[in-house]
Chains A and B, each alone.
Chain A
């Protein structure tokens, strides 16, 4: 055969779309002068004391494998951090697994619990990997749309309506990338009740929880009867600005962690020890740096939301994360056309909402993880772009 090996690719992988972000990245990469609001990571560098802890660990010769579950010192820190901040108690010996970022934790959670053909409910727009991760675990994704009217929090009624026989897992991510949506406690309680009623396992990715600007973050794992049916996922990338360290963790009931550990040990073996050492330092002494970064994100959020609304793009105020998700429906353009035009005419990059699922249509994601000056310049240009569009129309 002369298809260059194409016929070896598995069917379910062939069927996966390339990430919309990747395609857009290729365009932006050719324009280094553009102002990018497309960056899905903190613009802060990891606080020095955390980097220094990694260097010190390297100096001491910490270059080995660790326990599959992760260093017990780190698991103890995670256990007390989660108890203090989320009100859920996990045993460090058996209920905590350190993974290579939440991405890996999510992947092994899905692979550990899903049988071929199982169905997974997840809300959308969402992080780009959710649906593909479900497909890669040979299961069937069922999207539940969220909308601007609910500020992209989840509506339990829609989840209940989307449920069908064969649903095994409900995936949640609040605050959400790309919308900044959160779901208030009362709605989570209703979802919890539904999960119990339908015997659903909840996988909750709470990577942006520290960056909650209004109200208190509630983890569904902390609700009555939920700890035993929830895999709580968290990590260091966002709050501690440690994306490149690739370190996250999963907490859950022992049998589930044990099952995840099997997948983890045969694929990843363990998370890098240097990142684990850095994570220990982050949990022990990182709180002041997190608070300082959060304060800046908060001010930037208020600024970008105000500027979008002034520019004529209706934008709700995201209650968490560092993303604004303005509607571009008033321009009459679809998301991708809007983004390409903006990049072409004003050299500003934002990500089409459709990169995060079909219900992102009519929206764009703008990261405010950048300086005030760049936010001001970028939103000025967006305002000019929108003005021109409305004159044309």
Chain B
């Protein structure tokens, strides 16, 4: 894996100059690597990982199991992409097992998500059924624990 990508995945917020310091590269090398990662669609974008409860963001999130009928040419891809294009869909995965697509959807409130499912998702041609589960509380978000008390308070500032 590219060292730049590895550093990004470690999750510390560093600007290009700091990344250059950490990796012992020049800023232009870092920029070039970031450009390459974007051009090759390896690095898709930058989003902070937030604790929605703390941010008091009133969003409602749901996980939706979707059954769809595969098509003769292209299998699930065309339909899956069509569903994934909705703004309300954060992520969308093809799954093995009892259903085909697992869709992570977000809305301003319960009704918002419900109407997305009933009016948009279910009515797409090829969608056979949906089962919607609303998320009640997040405990871990992309590697970050949300309820753990902060550590290290008892650690001495200088030790042998």
A residues with a Cβ closer than 8 A to B are 19, 21, 24-25, 28-29, 32, 34, 36, 38-41, 43, 45, 127-129, 177, 296, 299, 302-303, 306-307, 349, 351, 355, 371-373, 376
Contacts and interface: CB of A to CB of B under 8 A. Distances in A.
B155 A41 contact: yes
Contacts of B160: 19, 21, 40, 127-129, 177, 355
B158 interface: yes
Interface stretch (B15-23, B38-46, B89-97): B15-23
B13 A41 contact: no
A275 B99 CA distance: 45
A101 to B, nearest CB: 12
Nearest to B14: A372
B156 A25 contact: yes
Interface of B: 7, 10, 12-14, 18, 21-24, 151-152, 155-160
A38 B158 CA distance: 5
B158 A39 contact: yes
Contacts of A351: 158
Contacts of B22: 299, 303, 372, 376
A351 B158 CA distance: 8
Given A296-B10, A372-B18, 10 more contacts: A21-B159, A25-B159, A38-B157, A38-B158, A40-B160, A45-B151, A299-B7, A307-B21, A349-B158, A373-B13
A302 B159 contact: no
B3 to A, nearest CB: 8
Contacts of A376: 18, 21-22
B18 A39 contact: no
Contacts, number: 64
A349 B157 CA distance: 9
8 contacts: A29-B156, A29-B158, A38-B158, A40-B158, A127-B160, A296-B10, A376-B18, A376-B22
Nearest to B13: A373
A19 B158 CA distance: 12
Contacts of B23: 299
Contact of B12 (A32, A34, A45, A371): A371
Closest 9 CB pairs of A and B: A38-B158, A25-B158, A40-B159, A36-B157, A128-B160, A28-B157, A372-B22, A21-B160, A28-B158
Nearest to A300: B22
Contacts of A296: 10
Interface centre among B18, B22, B152, B157 (most CB of A within 10 A): B157
A384 to B, nearest CB: 16
B117 to A, nearest CB: 36
A34 B152 CA distance: 15
B149 to A, nearest CB: 12
B158 A372 contact: no
A32 B152 CA distance: 13
Contacts of B12: 371-373
Contacts of A25: 156-159
A129 B159 CA distance: 12
A183 B40 CA distance: 45
B155 to A, nearest CB: 7
A355 B7 CA distance: 34
A36 B158 contact: yes
Contacts of B155: 39, 41
A372 B6 CA distance: 14
